[in-house]
Chains A and B, each alone.
Chain A
Amino acid sequence: MTQHHSKKHRSNTKMVPVPSHSIVPERDVNEIPVMETRHLGIEFGGLKAVDDFNLTIGKTEIAGLIGPNGAGKTTVFNLLTKVYEPTSGAVLINGQDLHGMSIVQASRLGIARTFQNIRLFDKMTVEENVRIGLHNQIRYDMFTGILRLPRYWKQEKRQHERAMELLGLFGMQDLADETAGSLPYGAQRRLEIVRALATDPKLLLLDEPAAGMNPHETEELMENIAKIRDQFQIAILLIEHDMSLVMGVCEGICVLNFGKIIAKGTADEIQANPAVIEAYLGKKKEA
């Protein structure tokens, strides 16, 4: 049943190859890819955590990054968001090289993310968390804030309205006033997505968005991911261990093992790929 449902989300996207040995949805093939990595790699004291990572993501693609524990998936996210500076290769966001940029600069280029171990602003309210996401979208300076100039009231109102609108995506308006740290786990994960969306990203990185969710919540999340893409026309790259979600919603899937890409393709191709099966289940001989 899940399979049937999930097919709906993928909406039979036709994937076509692009020069960088990746595939993107046919509708995005003439657009500048939202993200392109070229031989991206990072070493930690001689250990190659990620090596020769080449991936292209189309402008409105929902892509998946999967692999066994410790494969380097979150490290890839940290490279894309400039938490780590790569030791080799390059990341291009909308054709622009991220080389030498800070986390903040990368964010301003349009990358937003959620975190595997939730990183909300625990002591602030749900609405304030979203307002931090709007930090660079709806602005006013420090003195306007201290002196409570007319612009303060105007921009505060705009922030509030936008925050409530975004919380409405997940039906979270009623929680706006709660302290973020006191929310149940699933709601915290959803809030992280809302907060990331508030930054008006072009590429949204979701690090295990379904972790800790029950099957019903996961199903809902899947619908929401598709909805977000359709509504905002952005690309989404997600790391996930829940295969029903990955196979259900991702158009292109990239499999990582020991820091290296072992397979790229559509859900059907990945499921049939012997290298992937081996990475997850071990070699047939040994079994």
Chain B
Amino acid sequence: MTKTKRKRLIRNLVTFGLVIVAFIILENMISTKTISRSLKGQLVPICAWIIMAVSLNLVIGFSGELSLGHAGFMSIGAYTGAVVSGWLLAAFDMQDPLLRLVLAILAGGILAGIFGVLIGIPVLRLRGDYLAIVTLAFGEIIRNLVNVLYIGTVDGKLCFAFLHREKLPADVAMLVDGAKGAVKIKPIATFEVGFVLILITLIIVLNLVNSRSGRAIQATRDNRIAAESMGVSVTKYKMMAFVTAAVLAGMAGALYGLNSSTVVPTQFTFNQSINVLVFVVLGGLGNVLGSIISATFLTVLPEVLREFADYRMLVYAVVLILVMIFTNNPTTRAFADRLFSPVKKLFRKDRRETTGGGDVK
């Protein structure tokens, strides 16, 4: 095995390992009831935002396109999840929450994927800034559309209305009620399902990146003309990254939506897309583990800062700037390297001692 490959394998194993260890610790804390209430309530959202960040990293970090409408796919997933879950309960009396949750997540992913294809076809022919602008517009369009969308069930049958709620029958049980959002959701999302979904996301993204298709995706990022000259269809692979990310965002949305009793359109504004973008940029483009850590950190941070009340967002911004400077500025990085170099040396010495004997040339 080559050096780079081994390095990548180790990094991937560390990524999976950290996620699994974190899960085991948290499960332990839940069973021994040592976890704080606010953190417990945040577990599922954290899972959802991790998936959002990792999937957006596929688009921005690996295919090199700036997408500013990722929350749009999430909202499609959240609404689809809520409707599917409510409908399964009303139409088939499906009581098993786990099965409902899984089906809802699948439906959310599929519908978001379909929208990903529909938007991707015209948009991915554009280059650079245009893609960013159109995805931004897409996110806003989705938000405004669900604002006037009415879905309900009558005797287990789904009925839809657009703009005019009065067109629905009088005895309708509302699932999506326009600006009020998806209502009366049975919160069935669990941390365990969220954890499994993170693992699935990691498997999809990491395996894709280290495969023929993933290399093609990265080639289109590094040099479009050269990739095409090598016979790599740029549109196809940009599309692959974009739609995969959309599906994952849809699934994250369904998980997120089914964690609370209501989902409102204003939860998925442009601001949320930017938040996910911040996760990705802070964690590092193309760095999956970084996305996971920054998504977790930045989701928990505002809650922790709740004591500061008025200064919350100010502190959030300052922390963000400091982290950016510390991780990206060459001077501060050199400083950090110097700081940690004794520790690193220790490790290196260790390894040399264990393998040193055979290294004679």
List residues of A whose CB falls within 8 A of some B CB.
81, 83, 102-104, 107-108, 112-113, 115, 119-125, 127-128, 131-133, 135-136, 138-142, 144-148, 152, 155-156, 159, 176-177, 195-196, 198-199
8 A Cβ contacts from B229-257 to A: 229-234, 240
8 A Cβ contacts from B170-212 to A: 203-204, 207-208, 210-212
Please give me the 6 A-B residue pairs with the lowest Cβ-Cβ distance, nearest first. Answer: A145-B211, A107-B231, A121-B222, A119-B226, A103-B228, A142-B213
List 19 other contacts, CB 8 Å, given A115-B225, A124-B215, A177-B5.
A104-B228, A104-B232, A107-B230, A113-B229, A120-B223, A123-B222, A124-B219, A124-B222, A132-B215, A132-B219, A135-B231, A135-B232, A145-B213, A146-B204, A146-B208, A147-B207, A177-B3, A177-B4, A196-B230
- Min CB gap B117→A, angstroms: 14
Q: A104-B232, A132-B216, A136-B231 are in contact. Are A177 and B225 (CB under 8 A)?
A: no
Cβ-based interface call for B355 (8 A): no
Q: B225 contacts which chain A residues (CB < 8 A)? A: 83, 103, 115, 119
Report whether A107 and B2 are in contact in the complex, using a CB–CB cutoff of 8 Å.
Answer: no
Determine which residue in B2, B212, B231 has the highest number of CB atoms from chain A within 10 A of its CB, and name it.
Answer: B231
Report whether B212 and A135 are in contact in the complex, using a CB–CB cutoff of 8 Å.
Answer: yes
Residue of A at shortest CB range from B231? A107
Q: A115 contacts which chain B residues (CB < 8 A)? A: 225-226
Question: In whole angstroms, what is the CA distance A148 to B214 when docked?
Answer: 13
Cβ-based interface call for B320 (8 A): no
Question: In whole angstroms, what is the CA distance A115 to B223 when docked?
Answer: 12
- Min CB gap B310→A, angstroms: 43
Question: In whole angstroms, what is the CA distance A133 to B227 when docked?
Answer: 9
Question: In whole angstroms, what is the CA distance A155 to B225 when docked?
Answer: 26
Question: In whole angstroms, what is the CA distance A121 to B4 when docked?
Answer: 16
- Min CB gap A222→B, angstroms: 24
Report whether B227 and A125 are in contact in the complex, using a CB–CB cutoff of 8 Å.
Answer: no
- Min CB gap B57→A, angstroms: 15
Q: B4 contacts which chain A residues (CB < 8 A)? A: 125, 177
Cβ-based interface call for B218 (8 A): yes
